């Protein structure tokens, strides 16, 4: 079992959860398990069987694109983090109203 951290923009698709448990020995397995339970996630996360361009997935704190992609191994107790790709370069910005 691994845990998956869900970014704010995808929480509506998973009933508001910040973190979910999922099963699988690879990133592909874990995403399949997640999509089986929350089908609306599929088009957000995948494109043509690959990770969508603007989605980053991290296992043990490292982007799977610089490891083995969807075949990256997931171990018992690992945390996966899903993040939208964001423009780099600090704007020194605080969110509106803060």
Partner 1 sequence: MGSDPRLAPGVASSLLDLVGLTPLIELPRLSPKPSVRLYAKLEGQNPSGSIKDRVAKAMLDAAEASGELEPGRRLLEPTSGNTGIALALVARLRGYPLTCVVPSNVTAERRRLLQLYGAEIVDSPGEEGSNGAVRLALELAEQDSTFFMPFQYANEANPRAHYEGTGAEIAAALDHVDALVAGLGTGGTLMGAGDRLREAFPDVVVAAAEPLPGDEVMGLRSLEDGYVPPILDVAKLDRKLLVTNAEAVASLRLLLEREAVLGGVSSGAVIHAALRLADELDEGVIVCVLADGGWKYLSADFWDAADVARAMERSVWW
Task: List residues binding partner 1 (CB under 8 A).
Answer: 7-10, 18, 44, 52-55, 58, 61-63, 65-66, 81, 83-98
Q: Which one, 21 or 62, has the nearer CB to partner 1? A: 62
Q: Which one, 77 or 91, has the nearer CB to partner 1? A: 91
Least Cβ distance, residue 28 to partner 1 (angstroms): 19
The residues facing 84 across adjacent strands are 55
Q: Which one, 3 or 44, has the nearer CB to partner 1? A: 44
Least Cβ distance, residue 18 to partner 1 (angstroms): 8
Does residue 82 contact residue 7 with C-beta atoms inside 8 Å? yes
Least Cβ distance, residue 1 to partner 1 (angstroms): 21
DSSP 3-63: EEEPPGGGGGGGTT-SEEEE--SBHHHHHHHHHHH-TTHHHHHEETTEE-TTEEEEETTEE
Least Cβ distance, residue 46 to partner 1 (angstroms): 12
């Amino acid at each position: 079992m691994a845990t998956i951290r869900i970014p704010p923009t995808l929480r509506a698709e998973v009933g508001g959860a910040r973190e979910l448990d999922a099963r699988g020995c690879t990133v592909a397995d874990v995403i399949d398990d997640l999509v089986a339970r929350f089908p609306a996630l599929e088009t957000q996360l995948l494109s043509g069987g690959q990770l969508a361009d603007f989605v980053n997935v991290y296992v043990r704190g490292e982007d799977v694109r610089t490891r083995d992609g969807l075949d990256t191994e997931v171990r018992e107790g690992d945390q996966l983090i899903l993040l939208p790709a964001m423009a780099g370069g600090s704007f020194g910005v605080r969110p509106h109203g803060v």
